[in-house]
Amino acid sequence: MKQNVLSAVALLSGLSLAVAQGVPSPVKLTSTTSVVTQTTQNGKTVETLTDASKVAVVPGTLLDMAHTWQSVSKSDLRNMKLDMKVDPATTFRSAACTVSGVTTLFSADGGKTFGLAPLKKTVTVTENGRQVQRQVEVKPSEYTNVRWQLPVVKAGSEGRCAIRAVVK
């Protein structure tokens, strides 16, 4: 799998000060994008992840975009936030994280604000010739960003947080 080690400054808020001052990052991050293929074997659905750079990626392709992290700190880390942008060439489907106690938040405004699903937005509609504002649910396909809030990351632990999205 092609892997790119990403800077903790780009993805972890709260740790940027230590990194900016030249202190080594307490977390090693790796990013991968894989094509998800589902097949049926013995009546069960089996998923295969293939490096997206090694196969054709066309509209309708389901992608698994993941951040895998490993704590290289000798002490527990607290209140770590891991952010991922939903590529505009894709439509968000789902988010998952292997860490217990994680809170998954979503944004539909480019990462300016985050909240628990389902997100709400205010729209103006015309009813009986009058314009009124209504709260409506934001469709997951409108999500632009995902944030995982990890309350405690144990020293030496590792995890994986990912989104699934379909290529437009």
Identify whether the C-beta of residue 56 lies closer than 8 Å to the C-beta of residue 122.
Answer: no
Q: Which of 82-91, 104-113, 120-129 has the lowest mean pLDDT?
A: 120-129
pLDDT of residue 12 exceeding 90, the answer is: no
CATH of the structural domain 4-167, one choice from 3.30.1490, 3.30.70, 2.60.40, 1.10.3470: 2.60.40
- CA–CA dist 16, 9 (Å, integer): 5
Q: Which of 12-16, 52-56, 129-133 has the lowest mean pLDDT?
A: 12-16
22 pLDDT band (50/70/90 cuts)?
Answer: low
Q: Is 136 helix (H, G, I), strand (E, B) or coil?
A: strand
Read off the amino acid at residue 91: T
With CA atoms as reference, report the closest residue to 14 among 101, 106, 108, 82: 82
What average pLDDT does range 43-51 have in this prediction?
93
Q: Token match 């009058």: residue?
A: 130
pLDDT of residue 6 exceeding 80, the answer is: no
15 pLDDT band (50/70/90 cuts)?
Answer: very low
Q: Where do the domains of the chain lie?
A: 4-167
Question: What are the backbone angles phi and psi of residue 133, rounded to the nearest 5°?
Answer: -100, 140
- Residue 19 is predicted with a pLDDT of 44
pLDDT of residue 10 exceeding 50, the answer is: no
- CA–CA dist 12, 121 (Å, integer): 27
Task: Identify the residue with better confidence: 29 or 10.
Answer: 29
Distances (CA, A) of 53 to 1, 97, 124, 155, 167: 9, 23, 43, 33, 14
First and final C-alpha spacing in the chain: 23
- Residue 26 is predicted with a pLDDT of 87
- Residue 23 is predicted with a pLDDT of 61
What's the order of all strands across the beta sheet hosting 103-107?
12-13, 77-85, 145-153, 103-107
pLDDT of residue 138 exceeding 70, the answer is: yes
* DSSP summary character for residue 153: E
| Predicted confidence (pLDDT) per residue in 70-80, tens digit | 999 899 988 98
* Helix (H) / strand (E) containing 17: helix 16-20
